[in-house]
Amino acid sequence: MKFSLSWLRDYLDFSASLDEICATLNRIGLEVEEVDDPSKRLSGFRVATIMEALPHPDADRLQICRVNAGEGFEEVQVVCGAPNARTGLNVIFAPPGTYIPGSDITIKAGKIRGQVSGGMLCSLRELGIGEESDGIGELPQEAPIGHDYVQFAQLDDPVIDIAITPNRGDALSVRGIARDLAAAGLGTFKPLVIDEITGNGPSTISWQGEQTACPYIVGRLIRGVKNGPSPDWLKRRLEAVGIRPQSALVDVTNYLMVALGRPLHVFDAHKISGDTLQLMQAGRETFRALDGQEHVLGTDDLVIVDGHGVQSLAGIIGGEQSAVDENTTDVFVESALFDAVQIALTGRRLGIQTDARYRFERGVDPALVRPGLDAATALIIKLCGGEASEVTQLGDEPAWQRTASLRFQRLKSFGGVDLSAQEAIELLGALGFTLTEQTDEKAVFAVPSWRNDVASGQVLDQASSLPAEKAKAAAATVVEIEAEADLIEEVLRLRGLDAVPMAALPRETMVPAPALTPRQARGGLLRRLCASRGMMETVGFSFVSDHDAAVFDEVRESERLLNPIATDLNQLRPTPLINLLRALGRNLAHGFCVVGDGAFFELGPCFGQAGAHMVLAGIRGGVTARAPGHRAEEPSWIDAKADLVAALGELNVPEASLNTTADAPSYYHPGRSGQLRQGPKQILGRFGELHPRVARHFGLSGTVALFELFPDKVPLPKKKRKAAPALSALQPVRRDFAFVASADVVVQDVLRAVRGADRKLIDDVRLFDIFEGGSLPEGHRSLGVEVTLQPHQESLKEEQLERLTQAVEAAVQKATGATLRR
């Protein structure tokens, strides 16, 4: 929000300096972002006159000008290339040492084509205050020679730019800022008087339509106006805050929007078809706005239409078809109260950002709808003439009246400041909060219409399980608490936010609580685990190409981006494997990948039918480095399963509790992949080799091993502390078994049977070999199993080992039909 000091004086009587004003704004929470003081930026420029302009003897486009710039520069020779330089012209002169902001240079005396030049004659563009020009700036004949140009042009008016928080729509006006400064003790707030204009005769244009997103709208016709350029004072006001003057009719609406925070719009009445303007939801149609752009409207967008179609995107931007111009003689002025959420949704969807939308989104004064129209009417008649009609309206001013209470002791307990009740009442009164009731403990205030941020909005979920009466009472209690917090905030703000003492938050225990939840801490554990296994972490976009996504999952339109940052990033990814495979392909293409370098992982979000969820994905590609005694090898599904099992082990899921099923998705290689389940339904992860079809899609050759883990599906461990492991002082004993089993026997069933032979003595079971062929019967294979035995009380004897061997053999044969290989 920008405003100039001269504009501020319209609403605030003050004698404070610029620095004091900025300090006060920062103190009350209206943070100053920038101060532009033209008197400092444009210091040194003078009003001068060209006494004589002669052609340069050695350059066709240059002139030698004798210039009088007042004391010290009564006759200076300046070489100038402007085509409009001529004898008797009053100009802007920059003596040597002057900084030219528009060109970013500092003037020096010197020679140009052999002729002495002791300064520069400037254009408005070179001063940074005008548009591109072919010549130097021309000043009126009455301009005082030698006078400071900034003072002559009335540019010695600093402009302050402040940051506005989303809840402070009342501060999006010069008058609102003046009110805050006055309440903070800097000056006296001037009353605002807007006379109601009755009008002569009914308006020939009236309102119709629904009021869902616009409870109150008014308008009136002004006949016989003469549109043209605005007076200089109005132009300077708008230019100071970054608004380009257009015409008097348009400039009036922009002026009142900045001055009072009241957005308005003017239609050329002769360009409106019919005698009504209708508020309605748009259809699927195209609308050409004042920005010159074609916008495709949706069915949720609120528009103002006439007999020809859409004439305005309500509360955001007007239409080009009904815009006023120099031939406009009759105008229809609109002032309305549009729904903030409706405006925000439409503006965001269409990508239109205007000053009107910015204010409506943050809330405008509902009591200023009709006075705003009267203020615009009076100013239009003053600048453009004409005669106003009576007001036509749709709906009525909403019941914005509400109260808020403040318990005085809460200023100390909640706000941390020791403040008297009377001082708090006076501070709130200066902001427009009217005292309606007071006791020793609290005060009740009527909230002003412009403070829609105080105790407003929905405070209770409509789907509350409470009974209706209790829910209503609970909502009222929440509103009261929120309103009181708002009042405390206002008192603290006006006293100065820097005066609020620092206080440490209370500690429930001397030991600080963990910074991460157990589920969040898992991310760090998994990352360290993957890094320790030689994998490099990547962080990819959550967006991928829809062509890549289709290889892994059905492409869902609900996950297609309407405005992607790139054409190949237009779909929410179904798995991080897409990003990892692209990274692997790029590394392989540059010859960087052996297994140590060609192993990547990512822990990040993905999206599918089950919604958004986290996935740990990892891949291994390329070949191992050759070494004496070792040949180069590609990764396999065994590597992928080992990575997945290790990651689950880090999450306290033992391998013995897992079931392996051969039903991995179609992008895995059939027969070389599987899923790890906990129970029959809960899938914790997948592993295997990449399907050759998918590998070709990504331009990969050779074997690629990959896995996916779903951390959110792994249950958190119970909160009770684990008992210390019972470590044995005795040495473990390892025994190898080779079982001949049918090829259709699941290895996991064999391992489970071995574990069940003696759960107290058997500590670990691991498959170390699979052999086929040789002397084995056709359709059979040999499974090598290593069994770790851990005694706890005494060392194992030979007869104990023999009994255990028999128990293992019997358990496996009973469960799977496999026999011990002799």
Are 250 and 115 contained in the same domain? Answer: no
Would you say 46 and 149 are in contact if contact means Cβ atoms under 8 Å apart? yes
Binding residues for Mg(2+): 453, 486, 489-490
Length of the chain: 822
CATH code assigned at 9: 3.30.56.10
pLDDT for position 235: 92
Q: Could you say which of 372, 395, 418 is where a domain stops?
A: 395
* Residue 400: inside a domain: no
Are 557 and 637 contained in the same domain? Answer: yes
For residues 770 and 764, what is the distance between their CA atoms, to the nearest angstrom? 18
pLDDT of 627 strictly over 80: no
- Distance from the first to the final alpha carbon of the chain: 89
Residue whose token pair is 């989303």: 166
**Cα dihedral sign for 431, 433, 437, 441?**
negative
Are 538 and 577 contained in the same domain? Answer: yes
pLDDT for position 298: 87
Q: List the single range of 494-503, 542-551, 775-784 with lowest mean pLDDT.
A: 494-503
Give the SS3 label for residue 181. Answer: helix
pLDDT in tens, 730-741: 999 999 999 999
Would you say 157 and 5 are in contact if contact means Cβ atoms under 8 Å apart? yes
CATH code assigned at 578: 3.30.930.10
* Residue 351: inside a domain: yes
Are 69 and 104 contained in the same domain? Answer: yes
Q: List the single range of 329-343, 455-469, 679-693 with lowest mean pLDDT.
A: 455-469
What is the domain range of residue 135? 40-152
pLDDT of 455 strictly over 80: no
Are 537 and 487 contained in the same domain? Answer: no
Count CB-CB contacts under 10 A for residue 448: 18
| 739 closest CA partner among 810, 642, 668, 804 | 810
pLDDT for position 459: 38
Are 134 and 221 contained in the same domain? Answer: no
| Mean pLDDT value of segment 296-324 | 92
* Residue 721: inside a domain: no
pLDDT for position 464: 41
Strand partners, 286: 296
CATH code assigned at 796: 3.30.70.380
| 644 closest CA partner among 678, 691, 596 | 678
pLDDT of 562 strictly over 90: no
Binding residues: 453, 486, 489-490
* Residue 361: inside a domain: yes
Q: What is the mean pLDDT of the chain?
A: 89
Give the SS3 label for residue 598. Answer: coil
pLDDT in tens, 253-275: 999 999 999 999 999 999 999 99
High-pLDDT (> 70) share of the chain, %: 95
> What b/e sequence results for 681-704 when a residue is b if at least 16 CB atoms lie within 10 Å of its CB, and e otherwise?
eebbbbbbbbbeebbebbebeebb
For residues 117 and 678, what is the distance between their CA atoms, to the nearest angstrom? 89
pLDDT for position 457: 41
> What b/e sequence results for 480-492 when a residue is b if at least 16 CB atoms lie within 10 Å of its CB, and e otherwise?
eebbbbbbbbbbb
* Residue 74: inside a domain: yes
pLDDT of 744 strictly over 80: yes
Count CB-CB contacts under 10 A for residue 795: 9
Confidence class for position 460, pLDDT limits 50, 70, 90: very low
* Residue 506: inside a domain: no
pLDDT of 529 strictly over 90: yes
pLDDT in tens, 82-111: 999 999 999 999 999 999 988 889 999 999
| Mean pLDDT value of segment 16-38 | 92
| 257 closest CA partner among 317, 305, 309 | 317
Tell me which amino acid residue 193 is.
V
* Residue 727: inside a domain: no
pLDDT in tens, 216-246: 999 999 999 999 999 989 998 998 898 999 9
CATH code assigned at 53: 2.40.50.140
pLDDT of 689 strictly over 80: yes
- At residue 576, φ and ψ (nearest 5 deg) are -70, -10
Are 781 and 764 contained in the same domain? Answer: yes
Strand partners, 218: 335, 393
Q: Could you say which of 713, 741, 771 is where a domain stops?
A: 713
For residues 792 and 774, what is the distance between their CA atoms, to the nearest angstrom? 40
pLDDT for position 480: 61
pLDDT for position 102: 85
Would you say 346 and 299 are in contact if contact means Cβ atoms under 8 Å apart? no
Are 210 and 327 contained in the same domain? Answer: yes
Would you say 606 and 574 are in contact if contact means Cβ atoms under 8 Å apart? yes
High-pLDDT (> 90) share of the chain, %: 66
pLDDT of 515 strictly over 90: no
For residues 260 and 522, what is the distance between their CA atoms, to the nearest angstrom? 54
Are 694 and 553 contained in the same domain? Answer: yes
Confidence class for position 759, pLDDT limits 50, 70, 90: confident
Give the SS3 label for residue 466. Answer: coil
* Residue 200: inside a domain: no
CATH code assigned at 464: 3.30.56
Q: How many distinct structural domains can be found in the chain?
A: 6
Q: List the single range of 362-371, 391-400, 626-635 with lowest mean pLDDT.
A: 626-635
| Mean pLDDT value of segment 621-641 | 85
Confidence class for position 462, pLDDT limits 50, 70, 90: very low
CATH code assigned at 258: 3.50.40.10
Are 678 and 616 contained in the same domain? Answer: yes
pLDDT for position 41: 82
Strand partners, 55: 63
pLDDT for position 594: 56
Measure CA 39 to chain center. Answer: 37
pLDDT for position 466: 45
Would you say 388 and 197 are in contact if contact means Cβ atoms under 8 Å apart? yes
Q: List the single range of 116-120, 403-407, 474-478, 609-613 with lowest mean pLDDT.
A: 474-478
Q: List the single range of 47-51, 464-468, 624-628, 805-809 with lowest mean pLDDT.
A: 464-468
Specify the pTM: 0.66
For residues 93 and 81, what is the distance between their CA atoms, to the nearest angstrom? 14
Are 424 and 390 contained in the same domain? Answer: no
> What b/e sequence results for 524-545 when a residue is b if at least 16 CB atoms lie within 10 Å of its CB, and e otherwise?
eebbebbeebebeebebeebbb
pLDDT for position 739: 94
**Which among 298-307, 499-508, 554-563 has the top mean pLDDT?**
298-307
Checking phi first, is residue 292 left (phi over 0); if not, alpha (psi -120 to 50) or beta?
left
pLDDT for position 463: 38
DSSP string, 207-236: EEE--SS-SEEEEEEEES----PPPHHHHH
Give the SS3 label for residue 65. Answer: strand
Would you say 123 and 137 are in contact if contact means Cβ atoms under 8 Å apart? yes
Query: 818: which residues sit within 8 A by CB, 6+ positions away?
Result: 739, 740, 741, 742, 745, 750, 783, 812
Would you say 95 and 119 are in contact if contact means Cβ atoms under 8 Å apart? yes
Are 322 and 421 contained in the same domain? Answer: no
Residue whose token pair is 């605005």: 230
pLDDT in tens, 632-672: 788 999 999 999 999 999 999 988 888 889 999 999 999 89
pLDDT in tens, 464-504: 444 555 555 555 555 566 788 899 999 999 988 888 888 88
Confidence class for position 729, pLDDT limits 50, 70, 90: confident
